A and B are shown apart, each in its own frame.
Chain A
Amino acid sequence: MIHFVLLVSRQGKVRLTKWYSPYTQKERSKVIRELSGVILNRGPKLCNFVEWRGYKVVYKRYASLYFCMCIDAEDNELEVLEIIHHYVEILDRYFGSVCELDLIFHFHKAYYILDELLIAGELQESSKKTVARIISAQDQMVEAAKEEAGSISYIIAQTT
């Protein structure tokens, strides 16, 4: 299973974290610090796997962002690479050629999409189209609610 998902920028800034196994706040920051140290320092042509505390971390770099997923030692590393790519493709479709800034200002969207892809650290959907459809259905519900609330919910409209 996937224990956590981590998106880290080239500069070591955290862009997204999702924990499927319980880690305390302290452990989380330690894990992030430790792993970004290891992964950001790896050379370009090396393999995409890092052994870490008895687990494996599969990472892949897309432009300025490192997508990392931590899995059990016996899991299929190559498949996890595909899952990462799957996620990136869905993000790309949703935002229309996604860039780091999209993920910063619309971080909640990135989380919503991830939640349609993974639950309990396992893959939920292999079809990009299905994920896109479910996300847009939910976005529409939010839009509709906003319109309905109209004037009073001005603030909510501004923030999402």
Chain B
Amino acid sequence: MNSIFSGTRLRDMIRSIRACKTAAEERGVVRKECADIRASINENDPHDRHRNLAKLMFIHMLGYPTHFGQMECLKLIASPGFPEKRIGYLGLMLLLDERQEVLMLVTNSLKQDLNHTNQYVVGLALCALGNICSAEMARDLAPEVERLIQFRDPNIRKKAALCSTRIVRKVPDLAENFINAASSLLKEKHHGVLITGVQLCYELCTINDEALEYFRKKCTEGLIKTLRDITNSAYQPEYDVAGITDPFLHIRLLKLLRVLGHGDADASDLMTDILAQVATKTESNKNAGNAVLYECVETIMAIEDTSSLRVLAINILGRFLSNRDNNIRYVALNMLMKAIAFDDQAVQRHRVTILECVKDPDASIRKRALELVSLLVNENNVKQLTKELIDYLEISDEDFKEDLSAKICSIVEKFSPEKIWYIDQMLKVLSEAGKFVKDDVWHALIVVISNASELHGYTVRALYKAVLTYSEQETLVRVAIWCIGEYGDLLVNNVGMLGIEDPITVTESDAVDVVEDAITRHNSDMTTKAMALVALLKLSSRFPSISERIKDIIVKQKGSLLLEMQQRAIEFNSIVDRHKNIRSSLVERMPVLDEATFNVRRAGSLPASVSTMAKPSVSIPNGVAAAPLVDLLDLGSDDIMAAPSSSGADFLQDLLGVDLGSSSAQSGATPGPKAGADLLMDILSIGTPSPAQNNTSSIDLLSTAGINNNPSNALDTLSSPAPPHIATTASAGGMFDLLDGLSPSPSKEATNGPAYPPIVAYESSTLKIEFTFSKPSGNPQETNVQATFINLSPNTFTDFIFQAAVPKFLQLHLDPASSNTLPASGNITQNLRVTNSQHGKKSLVMRMRIGYKLNGKDVLEEGQINNFPRGL
């Protein structure tokens, strides 16, 4: 077969692709076609190019890779004939984008075509340039395009104008060059040229202040006249859309006037009349008219204050809002959000209608309306609006509940007149949409509950009632079990009854039922279960009469598949069982949580931890310095260790898995799963900024773990060789130092001078690591560490490798070790350089892993170093 007649025609290819019944079949056809096209490309026959590219474009649209056709586009563009160029440019725009290097190759062809004698070829080149040019091409070809703005044919002028729009977007520096050319376009009569010219001016005004001033001075009046002429013009069939002459031109003119009038009273003054005319005379029964009105309203609201016009604008929006057409209502809601800034009262008048829109079946409208409602809320209407929204929450779509509940929560939080109302509303939200609310919402609720001491009894009873009905709402359950754990005694004894409450009878075992239910339900997540476990521990002290039953529930959790749960269950069990004397002080009520700190933390300003320290800790009974528990969370994020590049990914993974210096880290031969750490964080975070009461009855889980160290000796024997610093961990004071790493007095160390005592960083039966420190002068953030590895065993270690990882605020540089063989009783050294970006605020902390071969067997040792001298 002759090469000219090889392959199928475009039409046939499309037919055969359409005839495919399955995706696999289609892939087959496409694969075969692509193979043919590649073969044909290799033959390099110019007659096939045209068709090949057309086919490739179709294949490309179906989503298959077509990069091998890119060069064919360039060849077609470079060929002399119009048909080839036309399809070549189309392929270029379709198959390539501005980020592909190949595009640079076309710059020269484009330049030639921009100077072509045939205006349609020039048009093709302008179109391609306008659609896909990169910044470099824009720079190279800007002079050509600028010249073409003055071209004799309007078709080229308008294309050049839009092409310039793209060029100044890509390279704003070039804007100045286009100002004169653009202003000449504003005098045109041809609508296409006028539209594109106005667009170019608009673009220039937004990019360049000089341009804005220039157009404001020279062109405002001309533009107003153009707008007036077009508004008043007689029927022109060519441009008429639903009774409006060229709405597109209308809209662009209004848009340009908007930037010219904004911030300039004189210019604004000039355009008042015409804006009033457009606003009153434009027909609003068709979409085209509404589009113009919409643009006009935007312009009125953006230009300098002309109050009578604004009344007109608000009235138009009011009309839009009651329109039956969803599109118009959507637009109205959108605009009212802007209008609220200068006329709150006028928008408030439409409140009822807007609330109706929140319940619209259309998700787009609902979303807009909800945004708007949240702007409308103030102290006076918050109760009524919240009630409406919560009522709707009950019946709204599942997928809307998340947005809606989040909005209600933020409204309630922001404007709540009193605490009891806040708590009531939040309980309603959690009952209806507890599955959907975000963590910080219920965290905040707990902080508020904790602060409202006179409402503890009321809250815990209300929660108890709610959780019986809505036990499937996860976050409601969490808040409820937290409160039952804390205030279980108030629940049972009906303490602090408010006048509005109906008395309820709850026995101790009813209360435990709720918690048991939460811990045993299969779909409760880890956080809930862990919270339930803590609640049980607390209840065991609050309800001594049924502590046996509670103990049974705790014991059951020993068999939990979750390591963290298992461990806690064992620990708690031993507290319940053997340490009755300290139990009651151990599980005392949480001290009042610090609202201010929580809010600051929530706002995401991390330095909060430092400022907390400075704050007088009013609420702490014993007056002991507060170590905000929330800082644990902070460490949590720091804990994402930045491992030095030498270490492998799995190593990092392992390091991450271990949670911080708490004894749990040492409790198993393998580090706990990451989820364990998360859980711990979560449990701790409930309390957020909880100050320590005193050293013995310090807080919650964390310290129970510490105190628990002795009883759970059994655990320790299971664990890998315990690093020496576990001793420090056991004392609550030391623990805070380790964990929050900020309690210290920052200024002291600076003057301390460079003498830091050496430490034993790690010691096992076979290996000891010592660190000595020195500071290079001039950079307090940097520390040189010399690590000495001492072999305590009678055997030689080969392939010795030391790896270390540090939190994000540290940078670690490892020099090569002096040797990778560690002879019996010998030692090797290795230098480390640590840069502490939080010098003076946080201490060094490091996690390490040592690997070596002992008698041909791989040995792995791991540890965490928390006992660095302060001030490094």
Contact = CB atoms under 8 A, between A and B. Distances in A.
A156 B83 CA distance: 9
Contacts of A17: 61
Interface string A79-121: 1011100100000000000000000110110011001000110
A23 B97 contact: yes
A77 B192 contact: no
Nearest to B365: A47
Contacts of A20: 131
B326 A111 contact: no
Interface in A34-92: 43, 45-51, 76-79, 81-83, 86
A122 B165 contact: yes
B421 interface: no
B568 interface: no
B174 to A, nearest CB: 14
A82 B326 contact: no
Contacts of B9: 158-159
B14 interface: yes
Contacts of A122: 162, 165, 196, 199
B326 A155 contact: no
A124 B294 contact: no
Interface in B116-131: 120, 123, 126-127, 130-131
A45 B599 CA distance: 43
A14 B50 CA distance: 23
A155 B48 contact: yes
B845 to A, nearest CB: 39
Contacts of B94: 18, 111
Given A46-B326, A78-B287, A120 B247 contact: no
Interface in A102-149: 104-105, 107-108, 111-112, 115, 119-120, 122-130, 134, 137-138, 141-142, 145-146, 149
Interface in B197-221: 199
B155 interface: yes
A115 B92 CA distance: 13
B90 A43 contact: no
Contacts of B68: none
B61 A124 contact: no
Contact of A127 (B50, B54, B63, B239): B239
A122 to B, nearest CB: 5
Contact of A77 (B62, B169, B331): B331
A50 B367 CA distance: 10
B161 to A, nearest CB: 9
Given A145-B82, A156-B50, A159-B50, A127 B191 contact: yes
B162 A155 contact: no
A154 B47 CA distance: 9
B99 interface: yes
A145 B62 contact: no
Contacts of B700: none
A142 to B, nearest CB: 4
A76 B326 contact: no
Contacts of B569: none
Interface string B396-432: 0000000000000000000000000000000000000
Nearest to B199: A122
A79 B291 contact: yes
Contact of A125 (B93, B195, B330): B195
Given A22-B99, A78-B327, A79-B251, A124 B291 contact: no
Contacts of B241: 82, 86
Contact of B83 (A76, A130, A137, A160): A160
B660 interface: no
A105 B16 CA distance: 12
Given A14-B61, A47-B362, A158-B51, A142 B326 contact: no
Nearest to B4: A155
User: Among the interface residues A76, A105, A152, A153, which one has the most CB atoms of the partner chain B within 10 A?
Assistant: A76
Contacts of B81: 145, 149
Interface in B531-564: none
B474 interface: no
B191 A124 contact: no
Given A47-B364, A47-B365, A159 B10 contact: yes
Contacts of B182: none
Contacts of B248: 79, 82-83, 86, 123, 126
B456 interface: no
Nearest to A149: B81
Contact of A82 (B65, B288, B365): B288
A115 to B, nearest CB: 5
| Most chain A beta-carbon neighbours within 10 Å: one of B131, B165, B361, B365 | B131
B154 to A, nearest CB: 9
Given A48-B327, A76-B291, A156-B47, A126 B249 contact: yes
A79 B97 contact: no
B83 A145 contact: yes
A105 B98 CA distance: 28
A104 B18 contact: yes
Nearest to A52: B364
Interface in B55-89: 57-58, 61-63, 65, 81-83, 86-87
B861 to A, nearest CB: 44
B659 interface: no
A160 B288 CA distance: 36
B502 interface: no
Residue from B51, B90, B130 whose CB has the most chain A CB atoms within 10 Å = B130
Interface in A4-29: 14-20, 22-25, 29
Nearest to B17: A104
Nearest to B95: A25
A120 B196 CA distance: 11
Given A82-B241, A127-B191, A152-B47, A141 B291 contact: no
B192 A126 contact: yes
A122, A146, A158, most chain B CB atoms within 10 A: A122
A127 B199 contact: no
B192 A124 contact: yes
A14 B238 CA distance: 32
Contacts of B99: 22, 24
6 contacts: A22-B99, A32-B63, A122-B162, A130-B155, A134-B120, A160-B10
Given A81-B291, A145-B83, 8 more contacts: A14-B62, A16-B61, A46-B361, A79-B295, A82-B291, A105-B14, A153-B47, A160-B83
